[in-house]
A = this chain, B = another copy of it.
Amino acid sequence: MSAPETIASVLIEALPYIRKFAGKIVVVKLGGSIMKDESLIARFAEDMALLRSVGVKPVVVHGGGPQIGELSAKLGKEPVFKGGMRVTDAETLDIVRMVLVGKVNRDIVAAINMHGPIAVGMSGEDGGLIEAVERNPDLGYVGDVTKINTSILDRLITENIIPVVATIGVSTEGQAYNINADLAAGAIAASLGAEKFIALTDVPGLLEDKDDESTLVRRISYEDLKKQYDANTFDGGMAPKVESCLVAVEGGVPRAHMLDGRRPRVVILELLTRLGVGTMVYSPAQPPVPPGAPIP
């Protein structure tokens, strides 16, 4: 155990952050690769339960690309791509739903509920949560998010429940769609008026040189990141994470973060300390506080 002085100073530093985030919504997008490691999921679940216990309102959003591929393969379903996109026929849509809603979502909910009946699983279809439209008839049931209807989330959040959302979209006529989980997560953060959006990935954050972790960008403004994004700087793995942060900040979330989900307690450290972990994207309206200034 650490010395009392150390403990006291850590607590004295953390308490103002706890006050700051009490009652505030924090949306966390869980990346697919993180979800494959059971011990990471277990620790992540504990972090969510702890944050909730001190008044933070976490909302978890997830996709599940790798797991969809696995079940498709088992079922002998040959993936078809057009222009780099996976074509989603009715059978594929059923597989997507079964995996996201019936498997990945349940695993996350179950991990959090080890700490009490505090999480509820949802599909983006429930109560018209994630409204979507068809992107292109040639791609089948692939949709683009058009609107987030937060009323069911609002209710659960008010009741101190942690919603865990599987990113299936639904049209106003009730047709389900396979959608991009990163963008949906950023849009949910914006629509809920979240205080923070966190993309938990399997990289340390934004790297100037993607093979050199020492080139980690600690802070970047929305404008600068947008310029790089528009210039197609990012590869296929990084681009959707970057876009989800841009969508969140554009929609009014003051801060969005890309954090390394493989580091233990990374969400706790980001929320409750002055440690810089990962990359922070800040809104032009709310530039970061200089070191040493009081917490707003």
Contact = CB atoms under 8 A, between A and B. Distances in A.
A214 interface: no
A123 B106 contact: yes
A11 interface: yes
B273 A7 contact: yes
A contacts with B: majority SS: helix
A272 interface: yes
Interface stretch (A107-115, A218-226, A279-287): A107-115
Contacts of A74: 75
Interface residues of A, number: 71
A283 B155 CA distance: 36
A80 interface: no
B8 A265 contact: yes
How many copies of this chain does the complex contain? 6
Interface stretch (A32-40, A97-105, A137-145, A202-210): A97-105
A152 B22 contact: no
Interface string A242-271: 000000000000000000000011001100
Contact of A100 (B7, B71, B102, B122): B102
Interface of A: 1-2, 4-12, 14-16, 18-19, 22, 50-51, 53-55, 71, 74-75, 94, 97-103, 105-106, 109-111, 113-114, 117-123, 125-128, 149, 151-152, 155, 159, 161, 168, 170, 173-174, 176, 264-265, 268-269, 272-275, 277
6 contacts: A8-B264, A8-B269, A10-B10, A18-B53, A98-B102, A117-B126
